[in-house]
Amino acid sequence: MATSKHAVLRTEVPSDQIMRYTWVERVCHWATAATYGYCGLSGLAFFTPYLYWLVIPLGGGPTARFWHPALGFGFVGFIFWMGFLWKDDFKFIPEDYEWNRKVMFYITNQDEKLPPQARFDAGQKVFFYVMIATAVVLPLTGIVMWFPEYIPRSIHWLLPVVVFFHSVAALVSVGMIIIHVYMGTVIVPGSWRAITVGYVSRGWAMLHHALWYRKMTRGEERK
Amino acid sequence: MAKLLQIKAISGHAGPVAGANTSRDYDVCKLIDVTTCIGCKACEVACMEWNGYPTQTTTFDNTYQTMPDTKWNYWNLIRFNEFVHPDGSLQWLMRKDQCMHCADPGCLKSCPADGAIVQYANGIVDFNQANCIGCQYCVTGCPFDIPKFNPQTKKVFKCTLCSDRVSNGLEPACIKSCPTGCLHFGSKEDMKDLAEKRALQLRTHTPHTNAGVYDPAGVGGTHVMYVLHDIDHPERYGGLPKNPVISAWVGLWKGPMKWAGGGGIFLGLLVAAVHFLRWGPKEAEIREDLLPPVPPEATHGD
């Protein structure tokens, strides 16, 4: 293998780092994020006149109305794929219940008072299950809103009910996403690198996911 | 004449309405006296001729009704019902169905697109297809099931009350074509007066002792009114709702939830900002050199 003496491009994870997300997992995350982003922004535009200007960068009102439902079903597909990829990691463990009770310590950066966490902490698991719940309500109500012209006149009274619950589910998911993006970008340094480049330092893994760190570094219980 | 098309409300519009609060001394109204309608369909033809949308093949359902329902390019339909009275006698009910131009329009209330639906101070509720995004929330808001979707252009259409004619001092096309004088057009006040006189005449001089004027209060009154033989049973006239109201769910969605949702998002961002300033990132001094070495296989993923 030919190597340069002065600059070597890396093709492997550096030896002191731990692979947190494989490239397939990162593709899944960002496909979910991109489809959600379009739907979330266009949905907020349709929700209130004060945010209708959001349709401008999304291609304009009619374009946003065209893509919102189509990409919405893409989002649903991707998040269920994500659930499949991480089905073992999203299982609650006894430490999670204690973590959830002591979540105030997490919010106030007293992480040393929290129980050790596995690959995902209890907050991430709760986030995932809330998003999955909205990803069930949103397409069920959304399909009716996508093609209201096929809804018979006798059940037109159902349309505003459906729109209402679509909006409620969307607002819940927007609230969760605000927390998720805030934490991923500014509150937990190193997590942005984990979900983009894929690996984290040993210290990061030990600090935030001690059980996972032990599992990864013991070199056992590996699948 | 420009005053006739003075804007009163605009859909999905965050700012103030241009020209609001200036004088509104003339509002228009169409009066349909169904008791003198003979079902000739002249108004349907006049509507098609003036508005100029392509016609289409339709289905015949063995009645005196042109087609089962109004369409995006067919805004005006005489609904026909052969009503059987309890005594066995028959009555042919003809009702000219079109947009009612509500004073409190559910379509406009539901519409998210800035400027797609405009209510003029003279009472006309008009769709502006250039701004329509095709979401059909207007269908969700309308208690009369009037807005109709064009699947080719993805735009919604309905009767304009011939806003283009009215703004030039003319009556709507349907009014001009009516041969029996069952259609009237003028100010809301004048039409109400005329309608009440006609209803009184029917009650006094005909067997229709329950005749009355249909100007439903649930939508703030309408700028299209009916004189009906029996005001207690509007549903007999091709499903005219007895007490039309905008669904309470629309009120919840566009009222409390809009403010709760918008406020919640704003509050969430605010809390995040304050949290960041108070507690900030989870930075830790990590002595990597004190940690045990990573086994080679750990770098290849879980």
Residue type at A204 in one-letter notation: W
Give B165→chain A minimum CA distance, Å. Answer: 29
Give A60→chain B minimum CA distance, Å. Answer: 9
Average pLDDT, stretch A30-34? 98
Predicted pLDDT of residue B289: 67
A186-219 residue pLDDT tens: 999 999 999 999 999 988 998 999 999 988 887 5
Predicted pLDDT of residue B6: 63
- In A, which residues are within 8 Å of B268 by CB distance? 175, 178-179
Confidence of residue A222 (pLDDT cuts 50, 70, 90): very low
B131-185 residue pLDDT tens: 999 999 999 999 999 999 999 999 999 999 999 998 888 889 999 898 888 999 9
Average pLDDT, stretch A47-76? 96
CB-based contact A79:A131 (threshold 8 Å): yes
Strands of B125-127's sheet, edge to edge? B7-10, B117-120, B125-127
Q: How far apart are CA A212 and CA A218, in angstroms?
A: 10
CA angle at residue B145 from B66 to B243, to 5 degrees?
Answer: 115
Query: What is the C-alpha radius of gyration for chain A, rounded to an integer number of angstroms?
Result: 21
A104-121 residue pLDDT tens: 999 999 998 999 999 999
Domain ranges of chain B: 2-246, 254-300
Predicted pLDDT of residue B21: 47
Query: Which superfamily is assigned to A17-86+130-218 in CATH?
Result: Transmembrane di-heme cytochromes, Chain C (1.20.950.20)
- In A, which residues are within 8 Å of B299 by CB distance? 12-15, 17-19, 199
- The DSSP secondary-structure symbol of B130 reads T
Give A211→chain B minimum CA distance, Å. Answer: 13
Confidence of residue B55 (pLDDT cuts 50, 70, 90): confident
pTM attached to this predicted model: 0.87
Is CATH 3.30.70.20 the right assignment for the domain spanning B2-246?
yes
Query: How high does pLDDT run on average in chain B?
Result: 89
Of A167, A202, A206, the CB nearest to B257: A167
Q: How far apart are CA B36 and CA B34, in angstroms?
A: 5
Q: Among B90-94, B134-138, B185-189, whose mean pLDDT is lowest?
A: B185-189
Of B140, B151, B272, the CB nearest to A163: B140
* ipTM score assigned to the predicted complex: 0.86
- In B, which residues are within 8 Å of A206 by CB distance? 286, 291
Does the structure show a pLDDT above 60 at A38?
Answer: yes
Test B295 with A219 for CB contact under 8 angstroms: yes
Which of residues A205 and A5 earns the better pLDDT score? A205
Q: Among A42-56, B57-71, B235-249, whose mean pLDDT is lowest?
A: B57-71
Predicted pLDDT of residue B1: 41
- Helical axes A122-146 vs A61-85, angle rounded to 10°: 140
Give the helix/strand (H/E) hosting B94.
strand B90-97
Predicted pLDDT of residue A216: 87
CA dihedral B203, B205, B207, B213 (to 10 degrees): -30
Confidence of residue A16 (pLDDT cuts 50, 70, 90): confident
Predicted pLDDT of residue B26: 74
Q: Please report the number of interchain residue pairs, chain A to chain B, with beta-carbon separation below 8 angstroms.
A: 173
| DSSP secondary structure of A136-169 | HHHHHHHHHHH-GGGS-GGGTTHHHHHHHHHHHH
Predicted pLDDT of residue A101: 95
Residue type at B274 in one-letter notation: V
